[in-house]
Amino acid sequence: MSLRHAILALLTAEPMTGYDMAQHFDDAVAFLWSAPHSQIYPELRKMEAEGLVLAEEVPRGKRATKRLYSLTDQGREELGEWLAADEPYPPERDVHRLKTAYFELSDLENARRHFEAHLAHYRRRLDRWQEVLNSIYDRRHPLLRLRLSQWPEEAHDAIAGYKALAFEGEVARARAEIDWAERGLELVERLSGVDAVSR
Amino acid sequence: MSLRHAILALLTAEPMTGYDMAQHFDDAVAFLWSAPHSQIYPELRKMEAEGLVLAEEVPRGKRATKRLYSLTDQGREELGEWLAADEPYPPERDVHRLKTAYFELSDLENARRHFEAHLAHYRRRLDRWQEVLNSIYDRRHPLLRLRLSQWPEEAHDAIAGYKALAFEGEVARARAEIDWAERGLELVERLSGVDAVSR
DNA sequence: GTAGTCATGTAAGAGGTTACATGATTAG
DNA sequence: CTAATCATGTAACCTCTTACATGACTAC
């Protein structure tokens, strides 16, 4: 049930359309959650029916309209309850780690390929997260600027601080995965050395 | 589609019942994947129908029987294909990180509570993973011993090496989360200091 | 006019969670 | 005999993915 809370949280910045939300989620740049539009639109309808958000049909061009969603008091309350609630920790389930545990059943070249891919993936991730993080540090990040503009000076350190912390967590994770993949490559080297000697 | 591959991988060690698999998954101690028995039993039936596993009804006590599953050649092949295939990277989706990004909407005490919980959770995780890891290092781990006994000496370093690497990844992750939660607590301290001064 | 973006949906299916349900076996 | 463990299922429900589908708007 986190999609709806991610949506509520997004809407605290400003009213937006489902399409806008999908952009924020898809980029994965601006956000810590992710969802396709096929999940967002139905959820928004449900949330509207439950009174958590309010939809306003606003014109777009000449004939078309779009649905601009905003938070209701009830939505704000729901968000507050979610923030206060203990969050259960889902079981770990990492396909890459699982697969790695059985690489002895394939060959060294396959293992190397996978670790290289892991490395490449998390390097890209790291770059993107780091960029977002920098834009939070110097308060260039558009959504953040918008939020800050709505709050008094005293609140700014907290608002930016928590956002930065969240992304720092992702950055640290990416770094850890890079280190891990490098250890994986070292292991492959070691094993292929042994292999060569024993031949 | 990873549950079936986790099952196939497990079965490379020895034939076992669905119940046994559930134990391995539930403990989460012995494994990098997790699934309840309600998911395992139907999957096993499907896999049997597809010829990936073979079920043998063996007696249990006087009247009862149990279904002992083992790998077929086809199952082994499927496992090999999976190991060789590129694995897509699922989008990041971490509720705790998401929630953290919006702690300014609750209060400092709530933020502190959440970070403490995060700390406690990952410290427990770290202990458990570290224990498993140690049992791999000195080759006490029962499933690992079983595997090693089926392979020639030369393969042992690879078999144990990949298992160790996988758990080292989890250990590193747990450590990173602990560090992160501690930074969270420091942030709360800093913010409450500012708060006190500005009052 | 046309390509790219804006905008909103539906539907089938896979994967996972939680709860319900049952019964034999074993250790005390 | 009784409680814990062994053992196997079903069913409802939720979440997420992938694919199908449509049409208006805007910049060129």
For the stretch A85-120, pLDDT in tens is 999 999 989 999 999 999 999 999 999 999 999 999
For the stretch B86-96, pLDDT in tens is 999 999 899 99
Length of chain B: 199
Contact B179/A173, CB-based, under 8 Å? Answer: no
For the stretch B111-150, pLDDT in tens is 999 999 999 999 999 999 999 999 999 999 999 999 999 9
Q: Is the CB of B95 inside 8 Å of chain A's CB atoms?
A: yes
At residue A173 the predicted structure's pLDDT band, cuts being 50, 70 and 90, is very high
At residue B198 the predicted structure's pLDDT band, cuts being 50, 70 and 90, is low
CA dist A130 and A140 (Å) reads 13
Q: Is the CB of B88 under 7 A from strand C?
A: no
pTM attached to this predicted model? 0.94
Candidates A5, A93, A101; nearest CB to B163: A101
Which of B92, B110, B114 best tests the A interface by mutation, with the highest count of A CBs <10 A? B92
Mean of per-residue pLDDT scores for chain B:
95
At residue B193 the predicted structure's pLDDT band, cuts being 50, 70 and 90, is confident
Which of B83, B116, B187 best tests the A interface by mutation, with the highest count of A CBs <10 A? B83
CA dist B150 and B75 (Å) reads 18
Q: Which of A24-28, A179-183, B169-173, B183-187 has the lowest mean pLDDT?
A: A24-28
Q: Is the CB of B160 under 7 A from strand D?
A: no
For the stretch A37-58, pLDDT in tens is 999 999 999 999 999 999 999 9
> From the CA of B49, how many Å to the nearest CA of chain A?
24
Contact B83/A106, CB-based, under 8 Å? Answer: yes
CA dist B118 and A165 (Å) reads 14
What does the pLDDT average to over A15-19?
A: 98
At residue B44 the predicted structure's pLDDT band, cuts being 50, 70 and 90, is very high
Find and give the residue nearest to D14, measured CA to C1': A1
For the stretch B142-177, pLDDT in tens is 999 999 999 999 999 999 999 999 999 999 999 999
Contact B172/A187, CB-based, under 8 Å? Answer: no
For the stretch A149-166, pLDDT in tens is 999 999 999 999 999 999
Q: Is pLDDT above 60 for B195?
A: no
Length of chain A: 199
Chain B 18-37 residues in 7 Å CB range of strand C: 34-36
Point out which residues pair with B65 in neighbouring strands.
B59
At residue B37 the predicted structure's pLDDT band, cuts being 50, 70 and 90, is very high
The full DSSP string for chain B is: -HHHHHHHHHHTT--B-HHHHHHHHHHSSS-S----HHHHHHHHHHHHHTTSEEEEEEEETTTEEEEEEEE-HHHHHHHHHHHHSPPP-PPP--HHHHHHTTGGGS-HHHHHHHHHHHHHHHHHHHHHHHHHHHHHHTT--HHHHHHHHTS-HHHHHHHHHHHHHHHHHHHHHHHHHHHHHHHHHHHHHHHHHHHHHH-
Looking at chain A, the whole-number percentage of residues with pLDDT higher than 90 is 91
Q: Is the CB of A95 under 7 A from strand D?
A: no
